[in-house]
Chain A
Amino acid sequence: MKKTLFSILVVLSIVPVMAYAAGKDAAKIAVASNSKDAASSISNKAGKCPYYLIFDGTGELIEAVDNPYKDTQRRAGPQAADFLADKGVTTVIAGSFGDKMIGAMKSNGMEFFQLEGVIKDAVEKVLNPGNQLLMKLDRNLNPESYESYRKLINIETNGRKREYVLFTVKKGADKVAALFLSPASEKGRSTLRLDENMWLYIPNVGKPVRITSLQSVVGGVFNNSDILRLDYAAEYFVEKMEKLSDKYVLHLKAKTKTVAYDKLKMWVDKDTILPTRIECLTETSMLIKTIYFKETKEFGDKIVRPSVVETDSPLHKGYKSVMIYAKIEKRTFEDEVFTLTFMPNLESLRQ
């Protein structure tokens, strides 16, 4: 009996390690470089660098290839992305990326990291188990595609509250839309985020207008990117992971300049792999706001996550904003739902 139990335990502990190792082996990382030396610095020309150094999932340099598009005048970035995808590269690291190359990498399902410094250090950073943890945390918070109902409450210093109810739909890593159901003054407003593009539709205005992620459509402490949040792993990578007795502390850095916060410091519960607190910081580590995750509850279909998300900010002293989740359900949507043209029709998705 003991032997059987021991064998089961051994198998159970080996399987995830093997799976993780297999996952790592499947990873292939290309780094933009000015030389063939892994100790040199990362090139800041993602599409027009002279070489790409290709590493395997264990961090071993396996190949240094010439970039056939280094002298190409037009569309070097997208062509380089396709070239790397053909070589089986899953992740690209460079000092900076053009929009067109980012688009091509996304189409090829590749990850990318904008990093500076020594190449081999950057590869280690990307292979950091913290990034794997962050992806797991994202899936624990919500399914990749879902619909949810949230109430947003802004609480003023005198205790006066303002409530908004939102219907939200999300698909994949970069598509999310929200529709205001109440109060009457906001009813029918909707916001859409497609990667870093954001729009606001106000029925009185009659057409969607482009907005910026730093604006807030509701006032209060939550801004647009808090309300239309994408997966953390889609926007940030883990620079450093600390292990405390019952928590991990992840130090996250934004992948691109267009992400709303430059840095996040995230406290993660070790047992549940769910966030308990996040500090949103500027590049100089100035605190913009703190987000607290509370009251973990089961939403059905194996979704167990905090039902209350509170936030306060030293920039809005005494004010607090709270987000309450009433319903989260897995649901798939057509991509066309997440388009500017569909925005006035979001209400038709409610069942």
Chain B
Amino acid sequence: MRLWAILAILLTLSYGMVLAEEEYSFDLSEIEEKPLDIGGYLEFRPVLFRLDKNSALHKLKLYNRGKENTREEYNFTALLDGSYKKGATEFHAIVNTDFRKSYLGWSEETTLYEGYMSLKPSSTFNFNIGKKTLKWGKGYAWNPVAFLDRPKDPEDPELAREGFVVVSADYIKSFDGPLKTFSFTPVLMPVYDHINDDFGKINSLNFAGKVYLLLYDTDIDFIFLTGQSKTNRYGMDFSRNITSNFEIHGELAFVNDYKKSFINSDGTVFNEEYDATSYLLGLRYLTKSDTTYIFEYFHDATGFAESELEDYFSFIDKGYDTYLTSGDDSLLKKASNAAGGDYNRKNLMRDYLYLRVSQKEPFDILYFTPSLTGIFNMNDKSFSIGPELLYTGIKNLELRLKTTFLVGGSYTEFGEKQNNSRIELRVRYYF
């Protein structure tokens, strides 16, 4: 018995020693530089939608489908991120493959998010050619100055990862004094058949640029885009820490001759052309108890007025009534294709508030972050609110459970979406 006890103590001690040794081991092979580097993640994301059968967008998109109250969707994603370095040259590619099982059956889509070559001859200059994201702007939920990026979803801003084919460079210069950094990023963006043809008018070479200054501890960017694919646009943004736990940021964007199409309640399409000035003001605040608040106000001058959106919803209702009485869905199809896809934007109207509150590691649960995200449409008083639980405590595994509730009266943006609510689980494994 005593022998067992001694053996147990020895085993425990040796285990403890192994642990202690492990605790402080740092093998140099872990930091070895490899020319070829491949990583990425695998993701499983089931989503359950609770449908709002009386909403305009349900009538528009699912009028000829079953009358179920809920809809399921299963998403499987593989993202591969690889790079190869030789001297000052680097090749980088990100490929994303989505498999989806929804009410439409199985679908598969593979997209090259990024694929470019970089030349980095010095720390003051680099040159890139290929498909690349630029991600301009300081806003968290919206970026009116991101003239060369695909629009992001304010409910999940990290999802917009697909870039455009561009030729770009960075010239960087540091100084002593109030101006600490100056950098200039010129960008050439070709828009032709099969190259960036979803960006704007084809057969044009567009030119854009960004000047970045770190001036008096404030990040400031001046941005422009000119060319035939879109009308000229100019903008600026800033970001600054006020104290060690408080940051403010903002964006201002001018779009010359912005063309907006909208439909009235009779189905007549109108076109309007005007100079649009959009802006965003935001802050990030961290409390002593590790709660982070991100708050933003966004005025989007390219959005629809309340009456324009009401007309659109009213036209859908009319089309749906016609379909029910005669089986004729031509009005619904017209509504669906109306206004060149302007009605498919993530946020349709002009004035929004965004608030995200996240609490780091409450109740001493390491790697656990619950949060709450709200988007409020100030024009029609509809909103979405989404509690979220994120756990990253298992090495390379990220678990996220997210629910979103959409609330609003009739003919309001969030009230007329096709879902009342949705719940999704995201399991992501990084390798």
* Residue positions of A touching B, CB distance < 8 A: 78, 99-100, 103-104, 106-107, 149, 151, 153-156, 159, 161-162, 165, 167, 181-185, 187, 194-198, 203-207, 209-216, 219-220, 257-260, 295, 308, 316-317, 319, 322, 324, 326-327, 333-342, 345, 348, 350-351
A210: which B residues are within 8 A, CB to CB?
138, 219, 239-241, 247, 249, 284
A339 touches B214 (CB 8 A): yes
Choice from B90, B133, B217, B245 contacting A212 with Cβ under 8 Å: B245
B396: which A residues are within 8 A, CB to CB?
183-185
Bound-complex Cα distance A184 to B286 (A): 27
Choice from A181, A184, A341, A351 contacting B181 with Cβ under 8 Å: A341
A339 touches B244 (CB 8 A): no
B124 touches A99 (CB 8 A): no
Across the A-B interface, give the 5 residue pairs with the lowest CB-CB distance, nearest first: A335-B174, A207-B135, A341-B183, A184-B430, A185-B430
Q: C-beta contact mask, B101-137 vs A, less than 8 Å → 1, else 0?
A: 0000000000000000010101110100000010111
Name the residue of chain B whose CB is nearest to the CB of A221: B366
Bound-complex Cα distance A167 to B246 (A): 28
Known A107-B176, A322-B23, A336-B124; contact A165-B30, beta-carbon cutoff 8 A: yes
B217: which A residues are within 8 A, CB to CB?
99, 103, 195-197
Q: C-beta contact mask, B86-108 vs A, less than 8 Å → 1, else 0?
A: 00101000000000000000000
B85: which A residues are within 8 A, CB to CB?
348
Bound-complex Cα distance A149 to B31 (A): 8
Q: C-beta contact mask, B160-183 vs A, less than 8 Å → 1, else 0?
A: 010000000010111011101101
Q: How many residues on the B side are at the interface (Cβ–Cβ under 8 A)?
A: 71
B366 touches A156 (CB 8 A): yes
A204 touches B158 (CB 8 A): yes
Known A99-B217, A212-B241, A259-B244; contact A183-B212, beta-carbon cutoff 8 A: no
Bound-complex Cα distance A154 to B158 (A): 27
B219: which A residues are within 8 A, CB to CB?
210, 340
A167 touches B31 (CB 8 A): yes
Name the residue of chain A whose CB is nearest to the CB of B83: A347
A324 touches B24 (CB 8 A): yes
B214 touches A197 (CB 8 A): yes
A326: which B residues are within 8 A, CB to CB?
26, 28, 31
Q: C-beta contact mask, B193-221 vs A, less than 8 Å → 1, else 0?
A: 00000000000000000001010110100
B41: which A residues are within 8 A, CB to CB?
184
Known A104-B177, A104-B178; contact A197-B366, beta-carbon cutoff 8 A: no
Bound-complex Cα distance A207 to B240 (A): 16
- Could you list 18 A-B pairs, sorted by A, with CB under 8 Å? A99-B217, A153-B23, A156-B366, A159-B19, A184-B39, A184-B396, A184-B431, A204-B158, A206-B161, A210-B138, A219-B367, A257-B244, A324-B26, A333-B123, A335-B174, A342-B123, A342-B172, A345-B123
A106 touches B161 (CB 8 A): no
Bound-complex Cα distance A133 to B397 (A): 46
Q: C-beta contact mask, B220-261 vs A, less than 8 Å → 1, else 0?
A: 000000000000000000011101111101000000000000
Choice from B23, B244, B292 contacting A260 with Cβ under 8 Å: B244
B196 to chain A, nearest CB (A): 18
A196 touches B244 (CB 8 A): yes
B31 touches A181 (CB 8 A): yes
Known A151-B26, A340-B219; contact A185-B90, beta-carbon cutoff 8 A: no
Known A78-B178, A100-B178, A351-B33; contact A340-B214, beta-carbon cutoff 8 A: yes
A260: which B residues are within 8 A, CB to CB?
244
Choice from B124, B181, B397 contacting A340 with Cβ under 8 Å: B181
Bound-complex Cα distance A103 to B217 (A): 9
B90 to chain A, nearest CB (A): 7
B383 to chain A, nearest CB (A): 25
A257 touches B185 (CB 8 A): no
Name the residue of chain A whose CB is nearest to the CB of B27: A326
Bound-complex Cα distance A81 to B286 (A): 33
A184: which B residues are within 8 A, CB to CB?
39, 41, 396, 430-431
B19: which A residues are within 8 A, CB to CB?
159
**Given A183-B395, A219-B361, A341-B170, 5 extra CB contacts under 8 A:** A258-B244, A326-B26, A340-B219, A345-B126, A351-B33
A258 touches B243 (CB 8 A): yes
B395 touches A204 (CB 8 A): no
Bound-complex Cα distance A341 to B169 (A): 11
Bound-complex Cα distance A319 to B284 (A): 27
Known A162-B395, A210-B241, A345-B126; contact A338-B24, beta-carbon cutoff 8 A: no
